[in-house]
Structure 1
Amino acid sequence: MQAKASIREASAQAQAEANAQARAGIQVELGVLAKTGMQANAKAKSLRKAMFATVLALAAALALTACTQTGDAPQPSGSDSYEGVTTVARAELPAKPAADDYEAQDELLGANALDGSFADGLSAFSYRSAAAVLGEEPQANGNFSPVSLYLALAMVQMGAAGETRDEIAGALGSADAAATAVQCGNLMRLLATDPQSDVRLANSVWMRPDAQFEQPFVDAMRDQFYASLFLADFGTDTADKAMAQWIADNTEGTLNPTFESQEGQLLSLIDTVYFKSEWAKAFDAEATEPGMFAAEGGAMQAAFMAQRLDRPQEIRQTETYTRASLGFMDGSEMTFVLPAEGKGVQDLLADGALLEEAFAGETTGEAFVTYRVPKFGFDSSYGLIPALERLGITAAFGDRADFSNLSRTPAYVSSVAQESHIGLDENGVEASAYTKVDIMEMSALPDPSVIGELELNLNRPFLYEIRTRQGIPLFIGVCTQPDEAA
């Protein structure tokens, strides 16, 4: 009863303070409540979760309303709703202006201009990370989204400190986490409000209900990264299905992952990217015909689309490769780099600088290009921690991790994964990806001064057991005669 009364009092006090600040015209910060002490029975935990959700949702609603009144952020409409998960806040990007409202378009373009150093850094990261992922984990087909990984790491950077933050900053090419967050917000608004294109970036943060999170981190997630905020009980089928459904909802159903979260998880950060566009000049389906494709495993037959554009195209030709691009109706383009005879894609993927030169190096001239492009569609998946370690990020994944700007609870990154989809045909391209970063509570190390010592010397017959992580015994045995030493 004491826990219940304490919770009611804290909730009433928090609500009264929030209401008072709102009436005074002060933006209410997205508060996070402390744990209620040692009363950790199931009923108290449930009450903590309810109080946390109620006050957090109230603060979020008031804060977003205040932002709307000052013109800093749009008023959210509707809310994401997933069974068994509490929606704290839904941060919605601004709507696209009308296609003929050029004044509004110019205003948005000016308000969300990207800093040149940010754009250059993102471009450099794209090729370095692509080489680290696609070059080191060769697959028959691979589709990697560098911008998805960049946004996910930028969100992680906001919660990092010390060496952990510095290593992420080095990989991103941006030492100022706050400035990077602002630029990421500009990028998201810029793409969201482009009336000509269909490029969608979305973020979400899934938080453990009874954990504490630092205010500046939560504010940045909501205000700069436009992340929807959820409370989820990790380690449950409900939370796993909700996160997967959020990804499907934000990628038009092109991605339908399955997850298995862990109970000790603090939060998951998820970013999605969705792109769809039609060719500026569609391929004639009647001109599509079968042809041989020299696959690594042997020649195979593929369906080749063909067209010749009626105006010269900028190209780049070297002894190592040939490059040309095809435009989309929205002004974006798809660039193709074909290795020279005797060369392979891995030769280009082996070096991030060479890969950047292949895609972004100066053109060597113009030509009328006849394109023969095989139709394709596939899904890719990557565990990205090895690639990130090759990019110089190591502290985040072990006991050296410092996420003190995220939470007072010691934590580390336990998983970074990306899945993607791409489909290409005569009409255009549809592609999507998500990057998911899981941050786990770091188990406290025991105090050696209060723990005894034990020497287990198996120098006589002994028994053993092997069991699964769920506690299911797989093997039980006895050892009375080990192998003889050589």
Structure 2
Amino acid sequence: MEEDMRIFNTMSGLNGETSECTGFIYRSASDMLVTVADGKGNVNVSPISLWLALALAAQGAHGHTLEQLEEALGTNGLCADQYRALVDSINQQQPGAASVMTVRNSVWISDTLTPHTSFIDDVRHAFAAEVNSIDFSDPNAGKSISSWIGKHTEGLLQPTIECDGTELLSIISTVFADSRWKTPFELNDTEPAVFHGDHGDATVPFMHQWCEDVSYLCDETFGWERVDIPFDDGSELRIVLPDPGNLETLVKDPAALRRAFSTELAETVPQEDKQELTGMDRLKAKLAAHKNPASMPIYANTVTAKVALPRFEIDSAIDGRTIITILQSLGVTDAFDPTHADFSSICEGALAISDIVQNTHIEVNEHGVRAAAYTGIAVAGAAPQWGREITFTVDRPFMYALMTHDRLPLFVGAVRNL
């Protein structure tokens, strides 16, 4: 697991604390958690799916377009073998585990376009991408792409995709997880309880379990506590419970979001050394942590947690305007401008990204977590010890991250109301 994680961290030539690749994941996640929500204010996103789709598109970019994509994604100097190692790492099923995680990539090329052989070879080798020739003017073109997405998300996502014939190339990246709890929640232990959402109280089914030997983290500086509930393949669902009224502060701050989800137990201070911070002391500590996160400790222990977790299910859809605005704020501008975009490594002629969308679904129940995402890019011309016992009741707005066994955030979400 540590070796696979180093593969991701070294994509940018930096260590795990400063990896630019991981930086993009939490910057984009923060922007999406703030700007995208369903009618209840809940949101589920897959920054990994967005990163993969853009990294695949970057294989066809050149000049300033490539420089901007690499700077934002943190992929400067990354070789094909490292991309492939990441894809293979996520797709590798652990021996004896029922849990499954997969990423699948595909490129759909207009039958009127003659792509460079080098581009086809690169995306097949680096991303294990399936390459298909398609007539985008055919009324069934969108159905073919939708069917491919449905197949690789096990039917959790079946989008209606419409093609108008102006497309020259489409890039699709799917992410799917069927993660089974290491110790399932007993259905007979599920009972109704009150969730205190920011729109008011709601009575919903709460699952209950004593979770043995789990990590419990507490951040006095930024105001949250976290429990990591394991799946049977070594991956985890990390539940971050902010202090009352503090969720919006966390989701708007990429550095705080990254600190909340990516901090490992080995980086923390034992809870018995905890120092309470109030008033100006806490404000000063928070400012110091922004300048140097490692300067302010996160306290933790391995515990037996009495967890009460609500069942929930979220569908999220992010439109092109939202994603493109986020990427432009990260410095990716030329790729969307027909007069400046340079995708000459794909083919001769002018190409530009005309749209990016992402749809996701997640459901959390007694058996585990099932989640799926797809990101579509349209290109047109132009060793734990027994610890103390704690109670962890998730009865107010919270965040979560579905981490791979290599501790990459496959899905990130915020639950504000149930």
What TM-score results when the alignment is normalised by the length of structure 2? Answer: 0.75
Q: Report how far residue 432 of structure 1 moved.
A: 0.7
Given that 2:211 and 2:229 are in contact with CA atoms closer than 8 Å, whether structure 1 keeps it comes out as no
Q: 1:397 — aligned with what?
A: 336
Preserved contact between residue 212 and residue 409 of structure 1 (Cα < 8 Å): no
Note the 1:89-238 alignment, pairs <5 A.
114=7, 116-118=9-11, 120-139=19-38, 140-176=41-77, 179-196=78-95, 197-238=99-140
Which position in structure 1 is the counterpart of 2:224? 321
Give the drift of 1:316.
2.4
How far off is 1:300 after superposition? 1.1
Report if aligned partners of 1:112, 1:186 keep a CA contact under 8 Å in 2.
no
* CA shift for structure 1 position 331: 0.6
Q: How is 1:441-456 mapped onto 2 (pairs within 5 angstroms)? A: 441-442=381-382
User: Which deviations, in whole Å up to 9, do the C-alpha atoms of 1:255-279 show, x marking residues without a partner?
Assistant: 0001112312110000111111211
Q: Retained in 1: the 8 A contact 2:105–2:174? A: yes
Query: 1:13-24 counterparts in 2 under 5 A?
Result: none
Helix, strand or coil at the partner of 2:43: coil
Indicate if the aligned counterparts of 1:235 and 1:260 stay in contact, CA closer than 8 A.
no
Matched-pair contact (CA < 8 Å) for 2:106–2:131 = yes
Evaluate the alpha carbon distance shift between residue 155 and residue 262 of structure 1 in structure 2; reply closer, same or farther with a 3 A threshold.
Answer: same
Backbone CA RMSD of aligned residues: 2.1
CA displacement, residues 68-90 of structure 1 (integer Å, 9 cap, x when unaligned): xxxxxxxxxxxxxxxxxxxxxxx
- Measure the CA separation in 2 of the matches of 1:111 and 1:355: 23
Residue identity matched to 2:311: K
Q: 1:336 to 1:157 in 2, by over 3 A?
A: same
Kindly state the Cα deviation for residue 221 of structure 1 after the two structures are TM-superposed. Answer: 1.3
Kindly indicate whether residue 369 of structure 2 is the aligned counterpart of residue 429 of structure 1: yes
1:199·1:273 contact (CA, 8 Å) conserved in 2?
A: yes
For 1:360-417, what per-residue CA distance to the aligned partner results, in whole angstroms no more than 9, with x for missing partners? Answer: 2343121432211100112111122122122221111112111111111201100111
Structure of higher RCO (CA pairs closer than 8 Å, 6+ residues apart): 2
Deviation string for 1:140-167 (max 9, x for gaps)?
1111111111110111111111111111
Q: Is the 8 A contact 1:277 1:429 kept in 2?
A: yes
Contact 1:112–1:190 under 8 Å retained in 2:
no
Q: CA deviation at 1:110?
A: 8.1
After TM superposition, give the deviation of residue 113 of structure 1 in Å.
7.5
Taking the aligned partners of 1:310 and 1:232, their CA distance within structure 2 comes to 52
The CA distance in 2 between the partners of 1:378 and 1:183, in whole Å, is 32
From 315, 319, 333, the equivalent of 1:379 is 315
CA gap 1:292/1:111 in 2 versus in 1, 3 angstroms: closer
1:112 is displaced (CA, Å) by: 11
> Post-superposition shift, 1:290?
0.7
* Cα-to-partner distance string for 1:214-269 (whole Å, 9 max, x where unaligned): 22211111122111111111133211000000000001011000111231211000
Deviation of 1:111 (Å): 10
SS in 1 for 2:7: coil
Amino acid at match of 1:326: I
Cα deviation 1:264-311 (Å, max 9, x = unaligned): 211000011111121111111111111111222221111111112233
Alpha carbons 2:214, 2:230 under 8 Å: kept? no
Aligned-partner Cα distance in 2 for 1:122–1:327 = 25
- Mapping for residues 336-375 of structure 1, pairs under 5 Å: 336-343=239-246, 345-361=247-263, 362-363=267-268, 364-366=299-301, 367-375=303-311
SS at 2:130's partner residue? strand
Preserved CA contact (<8 Å) 1:125 1:171? yes
Q: Secondary structure at the match of 1:369?
A: strand
Counterparts of 1:168 and 1:180, CA distance in 2: 15
| Partner SS, residue 247 of structure 1 | helix
Write out per-residue CA displacement over residues 117-157 of structure 1, whole angstroms, 9 at most, x where no aligned residue.
22734322211110121123344111111111111011111
Larger Rg: 1
CA deviation string 1:44-96 (max 9, x = no partner): xxxxxxxxxxxxxxxxxxxxxxxxxxxxxxxxxxxxxxxxxxxxxxxxxxxxx
- Aligned residue number for residue 242 of structure 1: 144
Q: Which moved further from structure 2: 296-305 or 134-143? A: 134-143
Structure 1 gaps, min length 5: 1-105, 443-486
Q: Distance in 1 between matches of 2:6 and 2:209?
A: 36
Cα offset, 1:205, TM superposition: 0.7
Aligned length: 332
Whole-angstrom distance in 2 between the partners of 1:408 and 1:160: 12
Distance in 1, Cα, partners of 2:261 & 2:53: 24
Aligned residue for 1:187, secondary structure, equals: helix
1:253 counterpart (155, 176, 179): 155
User: Structure 1: which amino acid aligns with 2:208?
Assistant: A
In 1, the alpha carbon distance for the partners of 2:346 and 2:170 equals 12
| Residue deviations 1:183-238 (CA, integer Å, cap 9, x gap) | 12111222333334411111111011021212221111112211111111113321
Q: Distance in 2 between matches of 1:240 and 1:250?
A: 16
Name the SS for the 2:232 alignment partner: coil
Name the CA distance, whole Å, in 2 between partners of 1:235 and 1:382.
25
1:407 and 2:342 aligned: no
Q: Tell me which amino acid in the other structure corresponds to 1:232.
A: I
Higher strand fraction (1 or 2): 2
Runs of 4+, deviation exceeding 6 Å: 109-113
